[in-house]
């Protein structure tokens, strides 16, 4: 069974063009883009949530923006949790 993508690749590409997002970004820029702290980005990377979307060269860590956003929005571990109301 194929799972539905929350954000498709064309949508990510269009968002990158319209918002003038860079092809690669630093952890600080990615954190600002996602509205989280830089520490959270490093924790997610250490947990393996960004596999294949970043490169480390010496002390520098760079994320490929499209792949990082795809990992955030379309990875099975990141799927939204459906909550039910206790009265229903």
> Does the reported pTM lie above 0.85?
no
Query: What is residue 36's predicted lDDT score, i.e. its pLDDT?
Result: 92
- Which phi and psi angles does 21 have, rounded to 5°? -80, 145
User: Confidence band (pLDDT; 50, 70, 90) for 8?
Assistant: confident
**Could you give the angle at which helices 65-74 and 27-34 cross, rounded to 10 degrees?**
40
As a whole number, the mean pLDDT across the chain is 79
Can you give the pLDDT at residue 11? Answer: 74
- Nearest alpha carbon to residue 67 among 4, 2, 23, 32: 23
**pLDDT interval class at 82 (50, 70, 90):** low
Confidence of residue 87 (pLDDT cuts 50, 70, 90): low
Query: All domains of the chain, ordered by start, with CATH?
Result: 9-77 (1.10.10)
Say whether pLDDT at 60 is over 80. yes
Sheet harboring 60-64: ordered strands across? 24-25, 60-64, 54-57
């Amino acid at each position: 069974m194929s799972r539905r993508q929350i954000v498709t690749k064309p949508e990510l590409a269009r968002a990158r063009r319209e918002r003038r997002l860079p092809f690669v970004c630093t952890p600080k820029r990615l954190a600002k883009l996602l509205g989280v702290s830089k520490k959270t980005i490093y924790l997610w990377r250490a947990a393996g949530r960004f596999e294949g979307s970043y490169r480390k060269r010496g002390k520098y860590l760079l994320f490929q923006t499209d792949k990082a956003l795809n990992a955030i929005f379309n990875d099975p571990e990141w799927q939204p949790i459906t909550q039910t109301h206790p009265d229903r």
